[in-house]
Amino acid sequence: MKTLNDRIGSVILKLREQERTRIHVPGYGSITPSELHIIQTIGDAKQITAQEIGNVLSISKGAVSQVVKTLTKSDLIMQSPSEKDKRSKVLTLTELGNHYYECHLQIHHDLQQKLRESLSETEQAGFEKGLDVLLDALHDIDTQYR
């Protein structure tokens, strides 16, 4: 029988695997998870600077710049001067980028739907509480041992 630690380990390994695997968007091609996270961040904000993306995702300016360059070349995002600060560029999704964003929202919806179908409301509340406890425990371990 699997222990709690075995289950947590399996979830972490599956999430790591998914973060390294390109996501296929039917009719359009594939994209890396990091590219899709940035597309989601831009789509959620409608317009945002690279620095703000780094803050939201807790990633370096260099990492954001590298992905932004790829997404711009792929015509998924566009850059324009900020009206507030002409030295800064505002990022927005192109029509193609918006399609990828909508596909990503659908992936999230499908996952949530699967959980809703598989768990009662009481079980969903317990699952969410368990995730909160797990995140707090992981944070505590990071603080204590890193």
127-136 mean pLDDT? 94
Show the domains of the chain with their CATH numbers. Answer: 4-145 (1.10.10.10)
Does position 86 have pLDDT exceeding 80, yes or no?
Answer: no
Does position 120 have pLDDT exceeding 90, yes or no?
Answer: yes
Mean pLDDT taken over the chain = 93
The CA distances from residue 111 to 2, 92, 104, 114, in Å, are 23, 26, 11, 5
Q: What confidence score (pLDDT) does residue 88 get?
A: 86
Q: Three-class SS of residue 28?
A: coil
**pLDDT tens for each residue of 26-49:** 888 899 999 999 999 999 999 999
